[in-house]
A and B are shown apart, each in its own frame.
Chain A
Amino acid sequence: MENIETKLREEAKRLLLEKKADVIIGYEKGTLPLTATPCFITIPEEADKLVWNDLCTQNLAKFVHDLITAHKNSQKRVKPEDRKKKVIGIVARGCTTRSLIIHLQERQYARDEIYIIGVPCTGYVDGKGLKVAISGADIVEGSIDGGQIKLKTSDGDKSVALKDVLSDSCKTCRFNNPIISDVMVGQNAPAMNHDSEYNEVNEFEKKSVEERFAYFTKEMEKCMRCNACRQACPSCYCPTCFVEQSQPQWVGIGENKTDTQVFQFMRLYHMVGRCVDCGSCVAVCPMGVDLRKFLKKIDKDGWELFGNRAGSSMEDMPPLGKYDEHHDKEEFIFNP
């Protein structure tokens, strides 16, 4: 990890000095112990702030889209020939590159507007899971050393195995190494345990309709409509989200139970063929809603019905984004 970190800083510094990127999006040390937070580096000297460890949680592709959109908006009133091009450098792990691929496939920006610094990933720590593992004690200080997290907490010193508190989406991750990158920092990380990817979903599918709806209702009752999942999600980039639309108003803004269900239901459906299972929405949810089970089901359907995993390659277009009448599984489409 240390090695990757030093190389990452060097690479970021080089990119900024050579003006190959105007800003580098990466992670820096968080203000709370055992956290990392996204940061934006614009001057080479600041590149030493960058970190890369098991605490880097957020999917940074979200910020790439935000920055490019903001830049494009700022250039709208400039004459076309005077418009400046901005290149965004991004520290990207497997799931981040998948999100970037989705953005590129959906023509949100051009490939040369981003510079991808690929980093191998061995999963990130699930903050809520860690809190449970130390029975809710406050973390005063912490460090990660060779697969063990050593903590100084309000209940005394504790030690937790890293692999026990990894995020659910990381434990069964299929694409933990960058799929596309301009420069790769470090060697590819070993594969995660992706054979058990759909175990949870398979179990859930076996339940009856009533049980499944009861589970959905129970989970959605926790939701307090803070929209953090939407803000964190790299695939949620509509200029006006349906939640904020008022003419017509699709979803009420109150705490009505059915409004919450409609919000989550529609957000889940907007993720068909677009969710990369980065776990950002789950990580930011303050109420611990189990969004992943539903998202994973959608992912499974995408794979089984269309043979597509969101953002798994540049050539593999999203199932709802391509028109291919000659390769449809159903005969009637091209031979009625």
Chain B
Amino acid sequence: MAENLANNEWVPKFVAIVCNWCTYAGADLAGISRIQYPTNVRIIRVPCTGRINPFYIVKALQTGADGVLVSG
């Protein structure tokens, strides 16, 4: 669980498992356009969301993620 140091508020930590060809491209575009996204999202790029094993999600939750976003 991530702590927001500024006001000591609890902020959930997310894992985003994203597809290389759409969502990751979208995130990339956001980066190029200099749009910031929250720091409590950690992106994992996969070649395709079809590549995702249900274990990825369970494992992320087991090792401390508060939420998992699968997009693609």
- Residue positions of A touching B, CB distance < 8 A: 242, 250, 258-259, 261-262, 265-266, 269
CA of A19 to CA of B27, assembled, Å: 67
CA of A266 to CA of B59, assembled, Å: 10
Contact A266 B62 (CB under 8 A): no
Contacts of A266 in B (CB 8 A): 54-55, 58
Task: Count how many pairs of residues, one from A and one from B, have CB atoms less than 8 Å apart in the complex.
Answer: 14
Contact A242 B58 (CB under 8 A): no
Q: How far in angstroms is the closest Cβ of chain A from B58? A: 6
Q: How far in angstroms is the closest Cβ of chain A from B66? A: 14
A-B contacts, 14 listed (Cβ < 8 Å): A242-B55, A250-B55, A250-B59, A258-B62, A259-B62, A261-B62, A262-B58, A262-B59, A262-B62, A265-B58, A266-B54, A266-B55, A266-B58, A269-B54
- Residue positions of B touching A, CB distance < 8 A: 54-55, 58-59, 62
Most central of A242, A250, A261 by chain B CB within 10 Å: A250
Q: How far in angstroms is the closest Cβ of chain A from B67? A: 14
Contacts of B54 in A (CB 8 A): 266, 269
Contacts of B55 in A (CB 8 A): 242, 250, 266
CA of A103 to CA of B55, assembled, Å: 24
CA of A258 to CA of B62, assembled, Å: 6
Q: How far in angstroms is the closest Cβ of chain A from B26? A: 21
CA of A262 to CA of B55, assembled, Å: 9
Closest 10 CB pairs of A and B: A258-B62, A250-B55, A262-B62, A262-B58, A266-B58, A265-B58, A269-B54, A250-B59, A266-B55, A242-B55
CA of A262 to CA of B62, assembled, Å: 7
CA of A261 to CA of B61, assembled, Å: 11
CA of A100 to CA of B11, assembled, Å: 49
Contacts of B58 in A (CB 8 A): 262, 265-266
CA of A259 to CA of B62, assembled, Å: 8
**Minimal Cβ-Cβ distance residue in B for A265:** B58
**Minimal Cβ-Cβ distance residue in A for B54:** A269
Contacts of B59 in A (CB 8 A): 250, 262
CA of A242 to CA of B62, assembled, Å: 16
**Minimal Cβ-Cβ distance residue in A for B55:** A250
CA of A259 to CA of B59, assembled, Å: 9
Contacts of A265 in B (CB 8 A): 58
Given contacts A250-B55, A259-B62, A262-B58, 11 further A-B contacts (CB under 8 A): A242-B55, A250-B59, A258-B62, A261-B62, A262-B59, A262-B62, A265-B58, A266-B54, A266-B55, A266-B58, A269-B54
CA of A262 to CA of B56, assembled, Å: 11
